[in-house]
């Protein structure tokens, strides 16, 4: 098939040949790794990077005439909250594409709106309140500690140890920080002590596959309970992870009742949030085997070596098979809709 790999790029003026040189040099970017897998699977691949010019995207797609667009966009002009724009353009122009539609990307990025939808469907979510800029920061009716986050960021952007607050003054200070630093609403959630689990889901409709569960583990001798959260450092800073004894591993034993709850919750949440093809849920598993959804990610990292591809490999799919699986899912649900 003809498959166009579409993504945001800092490189203005680059064309397919420029990007394919990066693929050949094994530059570690999701779009290059996806393209390499697609080419290894026998597809005719065109890489289309968008710097700030959507007419350029549409011209290149019209010239190529893809059977499918593999959407690898993570934002627009370095703004991650605009990742939905790519799906919107592809949807408006009638292209088949991988991944979730604009509505799901917008809904899951808004941590408050997505929690309301999940709660409506009977899924446990942390208690939360939101504070827009200029609103008084009156402590909510759940107990300290609380955790303060930017409402619309992902990849733990804006989350650090300072995000966990123990007093009204610290709460107000951190909310102001989010307003000033990120120019967006702050969401304040009750802090839940428990295991940090990541559950990836593949498929569509009733045919969903729950991949092996990944767990972020913390060395208890090097961290306190309130430090055992997925901060940006904990996720991405290798020296910090080594110093604190933080690892992402396949989950330690989980009670059968909790596993059944995780399975049912992820299936319900995937449908409720109108996700497609693949997604990831960040969960907290408490000591009493209750399962809480912290966040849903409609656009998780799918570059080689990250949690979702690793979970797929554990389930028996190497990286090339994982990428092909996404292609087939996108085509089959699109055929079913036509």
Span 12-53, pLDDT tens digits? 999 999 999 999 999 999 999 999 999 999 999 999 999 999
CATH architecture of 2-97: 3-Layer(aba) Sandwich (3.40)
Spacing of C-alpha 128 from chain mean position? 20
pTM: 0.95
pLDDT reading at 338 higher than 70:
no
CA distances (Å), origin 245, targets 43, 193, 211, 221, 263: 42, 18, 25, 9, 29
- Over residues 239-270, the pLDDT tens digits come to 999 999 999 999 999 999 999 999 999 999 99
Query: If you average pLDDT over residues 59-87, what whole number do you get?
Result: 97
Q: How far is 53 from 41, CA to CA, in rounded Å?
A: 30
Among the residues of 273-337, which ranges form H helices?
Answer: 307-314, 319-337
- What is the chain's alpha carbon radius of gyration, rounded to the nearest angstrom? 20
pLDDT of residue 226: 82
Q: How far is 335 from 291, CA to CA, in rounded Å?
A: 35
Q: Which of 56, 31, 39 is nearest to 3 (CA)?
A: 39
pLDDT of residue 148: 98
Beta strands 68-71 and 2-8, pairing class = parallel
Query: Is the fold of 117-121+193-213+251-337 the same as that of 127-190?
Result: no
Helices 54-64 & 84-93, crossing angle to 10 degrees?
A: 50
Domain ranges of the chain: 2-97, 117-121+193-213+251-337, 127-190
pLDDT of residue 186: 98
Helices 30-40 & 319-337, crossing angle to 10 degrees?
A: 80
Residue 212 gets which letter from DSSP? P
What tokens appear for 16 in the block? 């397919």
Pick the CATH number of 117-121+193-213+251-337 from 3.30.470.20, 1.10.600.10, 3.40.50.2300, 1.20.1560.10: 3.30.470.20
Cis peptide bond prior to 336, omega within 30° of 0: no
pLDDT reading at 335 higher than 80:
no
pLDDT reading at 336 higher than 80:
no
For domain 127-190, the question of CATH label 3.90.1580.10 is answered with no
Q: Which of 201, 311, 315 is nearest to 264 (CA)?
A: 201
């Amino acid at each position: 098939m003809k498959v166009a790999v579409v993504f945001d790029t800092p490189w203005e003026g680059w064309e397919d040949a420029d990007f394919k040189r990066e693929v050949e040099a094994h530059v570690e970017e999701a779009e290059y790794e996806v393209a390499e897998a697609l080419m290894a699977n026998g597809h005719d691949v065109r890489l289309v990077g968008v710097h700030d010019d959507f007419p350029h995207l549409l011209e290149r797609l019209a010239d190529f005439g893809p059977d499918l667009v593999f959407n690898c966009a993570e934002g627009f002009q370095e703004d991650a909250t605009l990742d939905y724009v790519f799906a919107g353009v592809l949807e408006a122009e009638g292209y088949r594409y991988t991944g979730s539609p604009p509505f799901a990307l917008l809904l899951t990025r808004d941590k408050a709106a997505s929690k309301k939808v999940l709660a409506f469907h009977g899924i446990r979510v942390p208690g939360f309140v939101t504070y827009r800029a200029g609103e008084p920061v009156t402590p909510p009716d759940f107990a300290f500690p609380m955790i303060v986050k930017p409402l619309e960021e992902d990849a733990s952007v804006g989350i650090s140890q300072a995000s966990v607050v123990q007093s009204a003054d610290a709460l107000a200070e951190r909310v102001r920080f989010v307003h000033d630093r990120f120019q967006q609403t702050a969401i304040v959630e009750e802090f839940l002590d428990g295991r940090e689990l990541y559950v990836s889901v593949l498929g569509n409709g009733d045919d969903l596959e729950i991949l092996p569960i990944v767990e972020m583990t913390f060395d208890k001798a090097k961290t306190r309970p309130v430090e055992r959260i997925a901060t940006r450092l904990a996720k991405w800073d290798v020296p910090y992870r080594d110093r604190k004894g933080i690892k992402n591993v396949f989950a330690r034993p989980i009670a059968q009742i909790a596993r059944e709850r995780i399975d049912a919750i992820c299936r319900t949440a995937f449908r409720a949030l109108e996700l497609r093809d693949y997604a990831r849920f960040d969960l907290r598993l408490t000591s009493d085997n209750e399962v809480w959804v912290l966040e849903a990610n409609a656009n998780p990292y799918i570059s080689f070596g990250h949690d979702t591809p690793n979970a797929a490999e554990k389930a028996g799919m190497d990286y090339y098979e994982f990428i092909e699986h996404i292609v087939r899912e996108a085509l089959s649900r699109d055929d079913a809709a036509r």
